[in-house]
Amino acid sequence: MKLKFLLLGLFQTVVAAAAIGAAETIAAGAVRPRVVVSTAIGGTDPDDFQSMVHLLLCADDLELEGLISSPYGPGRRGGTFVRAWEGRRVAFPRITSAGDHAEIFSVVEFAVPLPVGMTRAHTARVIFDNRIPAAVVNDGAALRFRFAPRDAKVCPCVIRGDFGPLDGTKGEFTAFPLRGGPPSATHPNWWTDDPAPEAAEGIHAGARTVSRWREEFLRDFARRLARCEHLP
């Protein structure tokens, strides 16, 4: 029998492992799924650390072949990008407001003109959603940066830098749900979960494809965690 390696996102891996554990279908000596996990642990989200704990709690049900580190920021090493974007770009030559709109998973580009007195020597950074940093290029005429909204909501941002009059400048824009099908015809499942309205839970597209297993998932997590409390 040919065994297949599965390259899975960490959350999907944990859900699959929890479902296997909850059903108690893996008997002694049975062939376990061979899994390679891509993890963002070491990045900016505490839930990635929590997911790693859950993965390790499920390790007795998996053949864990390897962990690939892919956190946000300087912890990321190597790898390549696959061009999946086929459009859906909007550009703003200024700081935006909630009246400005962009589709979720689109590329939103900003070119904010430098105020009087600011030069190329000044530096700046932008924070979206109070936690997500965006790289900024100061070309001497404008501050240029990009962001791709994931959720349909108002997305705030703030500019921080060493030029006083600009430091603390705030903006925002409104991201709206997908329209007209998947963002990519070549990679229809690359960008997001099921975009159907009935599969959404609040602002989170496709969440109900996973959240329907929430109770079983958490009960399995609790059972496995409790097992660790009684180790010798």
Q: For 158-211, what is each residue's pLDDT tens digit?
A: 999 999 999 999 999 999 987 766 666 776 666 566 777 888 888 787 888 888
The per-residue pLDDT of the chain, averaged, comes to 79
Could you tell me the strand order of the sheet in which 34-39 lies? 6-9, 34-39, 63-69
Whether residue 139 is predicted with pLDDT greater than 90 in this model: the reply is: yes
> Taking the alpha carbons of 144, 173, 167, 43 in that order, is the dihedral positive or negative?
negative
CATH match for 89-176 among 2.60.40.10, 3.60.15.10, 3.40.640.10, 3.40.50.300 = 2.60.40.10
Q: Measure the CA–CA gap between 161 and 167, rounded to whole angstroms.
A: 5
**Which one, of 103, 188, 187, lies nearest residue 152 by Cα?**
103
pTM here is 0.59
